[in-house]
Structure 1
Amino acid sequence: MEHLIKVTDLCKVYNPGENEVRALDHINLKIDRGEFVAIIGQSGSGKSTFMNMLGCLDTPTSGTYFLNGTDVSTMTDNELSAVRNREIGFIFQGFNLIANLTAEENVELPLIYRGIDKKTRRQLAREALEMVGLSHRMNHKPSEMSGGQQQRVAIARAIAAKPPVILADEPTGNLDSASSKEILSILKDLHKGGRTVILITHDDGIAARAKRVVRIMDGKIESDVINPAFDSMEEEHEKGSIEK
């Protein structure tokens, strides 16, 4: 079976020559459909550069990156933009919602760029907002919602078009502990529903919520392990959902 993501000998070098900086140094990684992977690293580890590569926001100096069967490592900016819109749902730390649009309109916006007709995109937006528990806040603007609710709108926006990859960059970074727990629970539910979730974080506690943890240091993958506690956390999560 073809890997959803296949990265081979990926390098990103800044200032080539005597003072070069190897932000990524021969990275190799495969991620299959339906995985829940945390990529963890401290500031300067190469984690953010790697996220930019996985999100098709930048291209490598060398190496290859196959996303959903397509080599995206040598694409132009316009080609990468089309791939991002089609293949990746982004969830950012800063929400990136448009202030004068309602929750529903914010979720609809990327669907407009995909050329989806008005009736279909409205239905997709409402389904996504319902999935994150915000069907009662569809007509509210960001200023009328809490940080946790705004992040849930951002998640709905990311999943509405059903992209193969959900890429969450420090999604709980601006949230309190209760909202963070809520967001991580939604990501876990997305994974349980068959979505591929890649979580970028610097926090060991957040990474521990994923099934697989990939640690980056000095531009290299230091470790790649299956989280032994994930199944027991999954049982606890299901028990909590039933009790609600």
Structure 2
Amino acid sequence: METLIRLCDVCKVYNPGENEVRALDHVNLNIDVGEFVAIVGHSGSGKSTLMNMLGCLDTPTSGDYELHGREVLKLTDNELSEIRNEEIGFIFQGFNLIANLNAVDNVELPLIYRGIGKKERRKLAGEALEKVGLGARMNHKPSEMSGGQQQRVAIARAIASGPPVILADEPTGNLDSKSSREILGILRGLYESGRTVILITHDDDIARQVKRVIRIEDGKIEADYQNEENEEDEGDVQEA
């Protein structure tokens, strides 16, 4: 398998000195292209810091991070911005939708930043919303949709430009169990279509439905294993 992510002896230290906090403490980690991975940990474990590192939103205090063979610490701010915009689709717990925009306009926003023309933007946004089962709700604003539907819009926004990596931070954290199953079904469909999906969660039930689990505690990788059996999602798995 081709290596997508390689972390070698990565540390992230806040307040260096007597009261320092090691959010990441000598982390070594490889993730291959096309994997479906859950990074699991309690609040304060370091999983959010690790997510920010993987998403090029933050840089290590020490150690090396390679993304597709490129040394992240050697990249310029513009190069890091290009990676975040073109190679990684971010999905957040809080949806981060613009309240006064409808679904299709919300999905189009990142495409504007990529310089994609209006006609092509509308086509890509519509296709992405169809993939997550919201073809009939393109003109609805967030306030007119359920939490699960809003998260689907957020997923459509993340996948509209076809990024090879999906980074999802607690994507089911604000959802009921039915909506959570639906969202996991969509993420599994993205993985099955060839994307690398990295899911950040504190929920062991969620982790059991992912192929590979990486457990983090006190800034260290405590376990890294494959799930022998995944619970099949009873909801519809959306192909992407």
TM-score band, normalised by shorter chain: over 0.9
The answer to whether the Cα contact below 8 Å between 2:2 and 2:33 also exists between their aligned partners in 1 is: no
CA distance in structure 1 between the aligned counterparts of 2:160 and 2:69, rounded to whole angstroms? 22
Partner Cα separation in structure 2 for residue 35 and residue 215 of structure 1:
16
Match of 1:115 in 2: 115
**Paired residue for 2:168?**
168
Which residue of structure 1 aligns with residue 146 of structure 2?
A: 146
RMSD: 1.6
Task: State the SS of the aligned residue for 1:228.
Answer: coil
1:91-116 residue CA offsets vs partner (Å, 9 max, x unmatched):
00000000111111111100110111
**Residue in 2 aligned with 1:49?**
49
Specify every segment of 5 or more residues in structure 1 that has no aligned partner in the other structure, as ranges.
none
1:123-174 per-position Cα deviation (integer Å, ceiling 9, x unaligned): 1111111100000011111111111000000000001111121000000111
User: Per-residue deviation at 1:76?
Assistant: 4.5
How big is the shift at 1:2?
3.6
Q: Give secondary structure in 2 for the equivalent of 1:73.
A: helix
Whether the aligned pair in 2 keeps the contact of 1:106 and 1:157 (CA below 8 Å) is yes
Letter in 2 for 1:114: R
What is the letter of the counterpart of residue 218 of structure 2? D
Report matched runs for 1:205-224 at 5 Å: 205-224=205-224
Contact 1:63 1:73 in 2 (8 A): no
- Counterpart contact for 1:59–1:74, Cα < 8 Å: no
Partner residue of 1:17? 17
8 Å Cα contact 1:38/1:212 also seen in 2 = yes
Q: Is 1:126 aligned to residue 126 of structure 2?
A: yes
Q: Counterpart in 2 of 1:83?
A: 83
Hey, which bits of structure 1, 4+ residues long, moved more than 6 A? none
Question: Number of matched residues?
Answer: 237
Deviation, 1:240, is: 6.5
Does residue 100 of structure 1 match 2:100? yes
Check conservation: 1:22, 1:219, Cα contact below 8 A. yes
Gaps of 5+ in 2: none
Letter in 1 for 2:102: T
Partner of 2:58: 58
- Code of the residue aligned with 1:42 in structure 2: it is H
Q: Could you tell me how far apart the structure 2 residues matched to 1:76 and 1:15 are?
A: 25
Q: Is the 8 A contact 1:88 1:165 kept in 2?
A: yes
The aligned counterpart of 1:5 is 5
Contact 2:185 2:235 in 1 (8 A): no
Aligned to 1:31: 31
* Superposition deviation, residue 68 in structure 1: 2.2
- The one-letter code sitting in structure 1 at the alignment partner of 2:50 is F
Normalising to structure 2: TM-score of the pair? Answer: 0.94
Q: Distance in 2 between matches of 1:240 and 1:17?
A: 50
**Helix, strand or coil for the counterpart of 2:73?**
coil
Q: C-alpha distance in 2, partners of 1:140/1:214?
A: 37
TM-score using structure 1 length: 0.93
